[in-house]
Amino acid sequence: MNKEVIPALTSGFVSDVALLHAEPQSLEIDRQRTAVLVIDMQNAFVSKGGMYELRGIDISGCQKIIEPIRQVIKAARVRGIKVIYIVTRYSPDLHEGGSPNSPNWYKGTLTTYHKHPEWGDKLLTRHTWGAEIVRELNPDKDDIVVEKARYNAFFETNLDELLRTYDIKYLLFTGLATNVCVEATIRDAYYRDYFPILIPDATANTGQQFILKATIFNVKRYYGWVTTAENAMEAIQLGFSDKKKGVWKLGSTVATKRGEAICKSIQKEKR
């Protein structure tokens, strides 16, 4: 394994740095600048009786990742890390999906609307059962929900604006589908100078397993980093302190060397 570690990109005097074991390199991540993205974990894709199952798609892989995602977001909430849900939703007239002049009209979800309008609330129309996030992963009051109409979660949404408002730099990716919406969003995140980190055992792909391997290869080689749910939770929950690198620990908070004086003054007050 590559022993190289990419140093954290901190912001301001006080940060919250942890070591995340990943490939092809491990990273020091600033937890104050980290968000977990949960993509398309909706009834239409994941639940029995939803659009995917009605189409004859095996949803066992989608259901299998509910628990690791639940564990990751639970740990993130405790730590104060932002949890952002990305969901595919349409108005009843499907205007967000484009017209017959758009290739999107002939691909993916919209083709199901055209072929099976009778499936109704099993699809992804806003305010229907199919469009809702699965019960096991219900958003918390402090979580954020971003609606999209295409594979890429940045396309014609306010996701980029939200991330910059909260000064987010590191993105932990979970959800569906690894090789479609997740990969499309990772690629765009890379172009926008975020640090995308894929958690394959908290995502599920469409198609055969070699497709998942292709996405993992692409992310590791070109677009970001790959880790496990276990490693992600460890980085979220545990601290990292290394004075040789100029990192000082204050309780569960880590400060860069620039904020050393502030940390020491606070520690004196506590005495």
The three-class DSSP label of residue 127 is coil
Say if CB 166 and CB 35 are below 8 A apart: yes
Give the pLDDT band (50/70/90) at residue 3. Answer: confident
What pLDDT is stored for residue 241 in this prediction? 41
Q: In the prediction, which pLDDT does 56 show?
A: 94
This prediction's pTM: 0.87
Q: Which two tokens stand for residue 78?
A: 């405790």
Residues 184 and 109: their CA atoms lie apart, in Å, by 16
The per-residue pLDDT for 234 is 96
Task: Say if residue 121's pLDDT is above 90.
Answer: yes
Active-site option among 16, 30, 62, 148:
148
Q: Which domains does the chain have, with CATH numbers?
A: 32-228 (3.40.50.850)
**CB 16, CB 254: distance < 8 Å:** yes
Specify the pLDDT at position 152: 98
Residue among 140, 102, 147, 100 nearest 124 (CA) = 147
pLDDT tens sequence across 52-66: 999 999 999 999 999
Identity at 120, one-letter amino acid code: G
250 DSSP β-pair partners? 253
Q: Give the integer Cα–Cα distance in Å for 157 and 116.
A: 27
Residue 148 among the catalytic residues: yes
Name the active-site residue from 30, 40, 143, 188.
Answer: 40
Question: Nearest-CA neighbor of 214 among 61, 222, 196?
Answer: 222
Write the CB contacts of 3 (distance below 8 Å, at least 6 apart in sequence): 26
Q: Is the pLDDT at 260 greater than 80, yes or no? A: no
Confidence category of residue 138, pLDDT binned at 50, 70, 90: very high
Q: Quick one: pLDDT at residue 251?
A: 32
pLDDT band at 111 (very low <50, low <70, confident <90, very high): very high
Is 40 assigned a catalytic role?
A: yes
Residue-wise pLDDT tens digits, 15-66 = 899 999 999 999 999 999 999 999 999 999 999 999 999 999 999 999 999 9
Choosing from 16, 30, 122, 181, the catalytic residue is 181
What is the model's pLDDT at position 267?
Answer: 43
